[in-house]
Structure 1
Amino acid sequence: MEALIPVINKLQDVFNTVGADIIQLPQIAVVGTQSSGKSSVLESLVGRDLLPRGTGVVTRRPLILQLVHVEPGDARKHEDGSREGEEWGKFLHTKNQIFGDFEEIRQEIENETERISGTNKGISDDPIHLKIFSPHVVNLTLVDLPGITKVPVGDQPNDIEVQIKDLILKHISNPNCIILAVSAANTDMATSEALKVAREVDPDVIPVKLGLIGVVNRSQLDINNKKSVADAIRDEHAFLQKKYPSLASRNGTKYLARTLNRLLMHHIRDCLPELKARINVLASQYQSLLSSYGEPVEDQSSTLLQLITKFAAEYCNTIEGTAKYIETAELCGGARICYIFHETFGRTLESVDPLGGLSTIDILTAIRNATGPRPSLFVPEISFELLVKKQVKRLEEPSLRCVHNLVAIELAYINTKHPDFADACGIMNNNIEEERRNRMRELPSAVPRDKAPSAGPQGEQDGTGNWRGMLKKGDEAPSSRPGSPLRGSVNLLDVPVPAARKLSSREQRDCEVIERLIKSYFLIVRKNIQDSVPKAVMHFLVNHVKDSLQSELVGQLYKLGLLNELLTESEDMAQRRKEAADMLQALQKASQVIAEIRETHLW
């Protein structure tokens, strides 16, 4: 299982390149208060002085410390001759630069901390990544977190306690994290701040489940006197053997290192299946995300032409119902047009009453106005045309949203010779003709019979068998006696016939004739409109657009001056594509790293 820790180190390196924490890798986080000996424990595990020291919050950024065991003499092999020593360090932010002097490593940690967190003792969640290669270390990965503090010191922010606690909780809340809680030996375990914080994310941390290990760190006097870590580890071993011989084998820095190494390896083994599944799921998600962003535009001219062609084709397919993806939530394209034609538009036309808004008084007034100063023996044709145009115009509003010209065409000419209209009028022919003959018999004897309008073949030829014949005006009837007003005449000072007056039988009959004719002709026009509007829309709009869409778009958009304006990608989209591509590459590489683990490495 020793190979598992380098695997996790590789995964950390992979995801560090994209600056992402979407994968919660197994790790050991070091938690403790200021001056609890946290830095001394870490330096003992490394075997060298390398961490900044001072008053206040010294560790102001998380330090991801990877310890890599190398055999003596392997420096040249691992670094391709770039190192001659057997211990060295590398930072992620300095790329391939090698640090053989651990004092330089300490200084680089301080410089990088100030570069991000500033010099005012503020903290940052952006970690520093450091690898230490040495034959004196075991494979181990630790995350050194800022020390817990209670009271701001010097120029520390007033909320430094909250900032540090939030940063610590963010790291140790990772379910794949092992918490290394460091407490000073001269403090009560019940009041340990490190254990208190650990318990917030792991209520079962007390009693300490993974064991309690005692180590002997250098005192401040030892540090001031430049006592080396190696000497301190030797003195620690001697102290434990002398004072606690029965416990010496289960305590001390070396035992701590071996224990952490074992715990981390077993923890990695347990987390590996879930980690592998998580990486595969994320890789699939980022592959879909990257595909949704499309490819960056390289040949603008070709891309624009392809887009126009694709858009025109998809438009036509949607109209024809042959689109690749069929919408199931709502009607669209040709199906929606069909629904509007035959459902919405059809119902709207049928809801228009042929005689709506037209009263008997309106009809009678139109008839009277059409006769002028003298009454007519028959219903005047002009009154019908006037009233039927008014009614037909009511079809304009629902048709206007589809096509206007058809209604205007119907209004331009009232075709009373329409065969359907003539057939409808045939029902009334006999009654009207009989009524006309009865009126002829009632004319005064002074009018010769041969002057009466003929009802013979010539009369039929003149139109008595159709609407125009029915409405053809006969001779004007003279007054019954000299000086008497014309029958049916209207005083020019009078208003139209009041609704309260009872209509005469002739007025009633004339109004009924007009109503029936208006209704008959209105239904004919409505039928024509209901049939013609969809055809006109399809011909002049839908099919015209289908036939000319691509050529029109090419003519309007395929111009050199518009290419940059139309196809220049936003910086935000380019950045999102790059981030998605980098993350996908990292996930794919991580998947390869895990796939290289053999089954034998797990046991």
Structure 2
Amino acid sequence: MTPDTQLITVPVGDQPEDIEAQVYEMIQSFISNPNSLILAVSPANSDLATSEALKLARDVDPEGRRTLLVVSKLDLMDAGTDALEVLLGRVIPVRLGIIGVVNRSQHDINTQKSLEDSLRGEQAFLQRHYPSLAARCGSRYLARTLSRLLMHHIRDCLPELKSRVTALSGQYQARLSGYGQPVEDHSATLLQIVTKFASDYCNTIEGTPRYIQTTELCGGARICYIFHETFGRTLQSIDPLGGLTELDILTAIRNATGPRPALFVPEISFELLVKRQIKRLEEPSLRCVELVHEELQRIIQHCSSYSTQELLRFPKLHDSIVEVVTALLRKRLPVTNEMVHHLVAIELAYINTKHPDFSDAAQVSASVNSQQVVLLCLPSGLSDQACTPQLSGFLYFYAVLAVNSQGHFGLDGGKRWKNDRAVEERAPSSGFGSPSKGQAINLLDTALPPSRRLTTREQRDCEVIQRLIKSYFLIVRKSIQDSVPKAVMHFLVNFVKERLQSELVGQLYKQTLMHQLLVESADTAQQRDEVAHMLEALQKANNIISEIRETHLW
């Protein structure tokens, strides 16, 4: 019901300064409800065009379907005027009707005029001034009309109200079930919660949780992503020759030959350099372990928030479970890191140049003519019998690559090597150049000048080592990419899955801890009481609605 004539805008006496805003908000809170009826009261001795009651009603009910207009103070209108046009709905039409009434005067109140006398006086006034409308005006007719409108309005709103009450009852019943009943058997309750948490944790890893995330990867799906996307892409992005310059390779070759010039590239230089490259795989492997460990930590929060609602009742139990699982993960982290470190150390311990993939790759990389037979000949001055076709795998690859990369070597009648660059071989460059006149050679400067041009043989040696390193590095990278996820699953993920429940039971299932762990929070107990009262009120409302539907509506 909207107020008569004007809203309170100026605070009087001890009224608050914001009295106007409070009154307006209170009115809006009632009339905004689509299930409410609006009783707009406006005095007959004022212009309806300025009625605030009608204005507020029209804001929330533009078509006037829920509004009933009451024109009061019919007996106070100026002489010679009446409200007939207004009561007939010709000025402002309202769907539910317009009813005129005569209020009790202050004199009637002061003289303690009875209500029955006031009603008879109102009816007499209406018969004198509005005889055609007297039967449809007055306080008695207003009361009957309001009762009829209310009953019909309830009848129209009953189906929706019934649905809303039923839906709310279901929601509050679910909330009440989530809060659970007060704990009676502490032993059974604790064991049930711990078992359920361990099951939800393992199911999240396996991809069979009760609540599946739709916004981001979680649990086992994220671990799979770490293995095959994050870790895999990181390894694939590592350049086999990254950080390795030609100067580094030549320096390693020279240091491996000692005081004697080498006829072939020393195998020890290849091993030294390839180990340096393999060592770069250790850091991303350890980072993979760290990412999986972090995801296993996130699963704890996921299970606490979505899967095991009972933990919200017992904050101490929740904190204890988190502490136990975190300690278990923390204990397994160094073991897993050590195993991953061993996987890299194993690759560094033995460079298997007889690996089938390495041999095949070397042959494919080096052989341009697979039918060509290569003989290794010693320096000139020795007999042809000094040539032998029996070479080690590493030297054979080097010899084949040396011939194919130059394209100038061949056999003279199957006996001797011919070299189109005999002059270069007879007078090999020292690599430092001849000193100009007046320039002395610094005999203490043994480092390779980084800017000088490599000789043909140095370029060839670098290519040999680079191809070998790349071929073997790819083999080791493939092995690490396969073995690290397996190690993480065995030493960390599967270990935690298999021992999680036993660890929780062993740490928490103790008589001295049960009562402490199963103490409910004050908020949970209060919320349970509030939900229980609300559920009771909804059940009463449902009963009332059922009774109304069975009652005859006038």
Q: Which category describes the TM-score, using the shorter chain as reference length? A: 0.5 to 0.7
Q: Give deviations 1:81-113, integer Å, cap 9, x for gaps.
A: xxxxxxxxxxxxxxxxxxxxxxxxxxxxxxxxx
| Alignment partner of 1:551 out of 487, 502, 509 | 502
Q: Give deviations 1:313-372, integer Å, cap 9, x for gaps.
A: 233333334445555665544444344434443343333333333233221111111223
| Alignment partner of 2:345 out of 386, 408, 430 | 408
Q: Which residue of 2 aligns with 1:589?
A: 540
Distance in 2 between residues matched to 1:589 and 1:495, nearest whole Å: 96
Q: Give deviations 1:367-410, integer Å, cap 9, x for gaps.
A: 11122333334433331221111111122232222333311332
Answer whether contact 1:366 1:387 (CA < 8 A) is retained: yes
Distance in 2 between residues matched to 1:571 and 1:207, nearest whole Å: 56
Cα separation, partners in 2 of 1:287 and 1:159, compared to 1, 3 Å: same
Cα separation, partners in 2 of 1:323 and 1:247, compared to 1, 3 Å: closer
Q: Which residue of 2 aligns with 1:524?
A: 475
| Alignment partner of 1:391 out of 277, 302, 307 | 277
User: 5+ unaligned residues in a row in structure 1: which ranges?
Assistant: 1-28, 34-146, 472-486
Distance in 1 between residues matched to 2:449 and 2:9, nearest whole Å: 101
Cα separation, partners in 2 of 1:540 and 1:210, compared to 1, 3 Å: closer
Distance in 2 between residues matched to 1:225 and 1:264, nearest whole Å: 34
Q: Which residue of 1 aligns with 2:377?
A: 437
What is the number of residues matched between the two proteins? 433
Structure 2 SS opposite 1:180: strand
CA RMSD of aligned residues (A): 4.2
Q: Which residue of 2 aligns with 1:113?
A: none
Structure 2 SS opposite 1:361: helix
1:162-561 aligned within 5 A: 162-184=21-43, 186-187=45-46, 189-203=48-62, 204=64, 206-236=92-122, 248-290=134-176, 293-295=178-180, 298=183, 299=185, 301-324=187-210, 331-402=217-288, 403-416=340-353, 418=355, 420-421=357-358, 436-439=376-379, 441-442=380-381, 464-467=391-394, 491-505=443-457, 507-558=458-509
Q: Give deviations 1:180-219, integer Å, cap 9, x for gaps.
A: 3444555555555544443443454623544444444443
Residue 178 of structure 1 aligns to which amino acid in structure 2? L
Match status 1:159 vs 2:159: no
Distance in 2 between residues matched to 1:419 and 1:438, nearest whole Å: 29
Answer whether contact 1:388 1:518 (CA < 8 A) is retained: yes
* Alpha-carbon offset, residue 536 of structure 1: 1.1
* Alpha-carbon offset, residue 415 of structure 1: 3.8
Identical columns (%): 66
Q: Give deviations 1:515-556, integer Å, cap 9, x for gaps.
A: 333233323322321221122122112211111122223344
Distance in 1 between residues matched to 2:47 and 2:215, nearest whole Å: 66
Residue 354 of structure 1 aligns to which amino acid in structure 2? P
Q: Give deviations 1:283-322, integer Å, cap 9, x for gaps.
A: 344445555x442562555444323322322333333344
Answer whether contact 2:8 2:20 (CA < 8 A) is retained: yes
The answer to which structure has the higher helix fraction is 2
State TM-score, norm by structure 2: 0.65
Structure 1 SS opposite 2:268: helix
* Alpha-carbon offset, residue 253 of structure 1: 3.2
Answer whether contact 1:349 1:398 (CA < 8 A) is retained: yes
Cα separation, partners in 2 of 1:307 and 1:233, compared to 1, 3 Å: same
Residue 520 of structure 1 aligns to which amino acid in structure 2? S
* Alpha-carbon offset, residue 230 of structure 1: 4.0
* Alpha-carbon offset, residue 562 of structure 1: 6.2
Distance in 2 between residues matched to 1:493 and 1:243, nearest whole Å: 129
Cα separation, partners in 2 of 1:585 and 1:243, compared to 1, 3 Å: same
Distance in 1 between residues matched to 2:232 and 2:28, nearest whole Å: 67
Cα separation, partners in 2 of 1:498 and 1:333, compared to 1, 3 Å: same
* Alpha-carbon offset, residue 510 of structure 1: 3.4
Distance in 2 between residues matched to 1:257 and 1:470, nearest whole Å: 111
Residue 437 of structure 1 aligns to which amino acid in structure 2? C
Answer whether contact 2:155 2:549 (CA < 8 A) is retained: no
Residue 529 of structure 1 aligns to which amino acid in structure 2? I
Cα separation, partners in 2 of 1:194 and 1:317, compared to 1, 3 Å: closer
Answer whether contact 1:425 1:466 (CA < 8 A) is retained: no
Answer whether contact 1:280 1:591 (CA < 8 A) is retained: yes
Bigger Cα displacement from structure 2, 365-374 vs 217-226: 217-226
Answer whether contact 1:354 1:519 (CA < 8 A) is retained: yes
Q: Give deviations 1:56-104, integer Å, cap 9, x for gaps.
A: xxxxxxxxxxxxxxxxxxxxxxxxxxxxxxxxxxxxxxxxxxxxxxxxx
Q: Which residue of 1 aligns with 2:303?
A: none
Answer whether contact 2:362 2:397 (CA < 8 A) is retained: no
Distance in 2 between residues matched to 1:585 and 1:165, nearest whole Å: 32
Cα separation, partners in 2 of 1:468 and 1:378, compared to 1, 3 Å: closer
Residue 295 of structure 1 aligns to which amino acid in structure 2? G
User: 5+ unaligned residues in a row in structure 2: which ranges?
Assistant: 70-91, 289-339, 399-429, 433-441
Answer whether contact 1:426 1:465 (CA < 8 A) is retained: no
Cα separation, partners in 2 of 1:420 and 1:234, compared to 1, 3 Å: closer
Structure 2 SS opposite 1:401: helix
* Alpha-carbon offset, residue 436 of structure 1: 4.7
Q: Which residue of 2 aligns with 1:53?
A: none
Cα separation, partners in 2 of 1:259 and 1:404, compared to 1, 3 Å: same
Structure 2 SS opposite 1:310: helix
Structure 1 SS opposite 2:3: strand
Bigger Cα displacement from structure 2, 319-328 vs 539-548: 319-328
Cα separation, partners in 2 of 1:201 and 1:244, compared to 1, 3 Å: same
Distance in 1 between residues matched to 2:93 and 2:152, nearest whole Å: 21
Cα separation, partners in 2 of 1:556 and 1:491, compared to 1, 3 Å: farther
* Alpha-carbon offset, residue 414 of structure 1: 3.0
Q: Which residue of 1 aligns with 2:4?
A: 32
Residue 521 of structure 1 aligns to which amino acid in structure 2? Y
Distance in 2 between residues matched to 1:154 and 1:326, nearest whole Å: 61
Structure 2 SS opposite 1:404: helix
Answer whether contact 1:361 1:499 (CA < 8 A) is retained: no
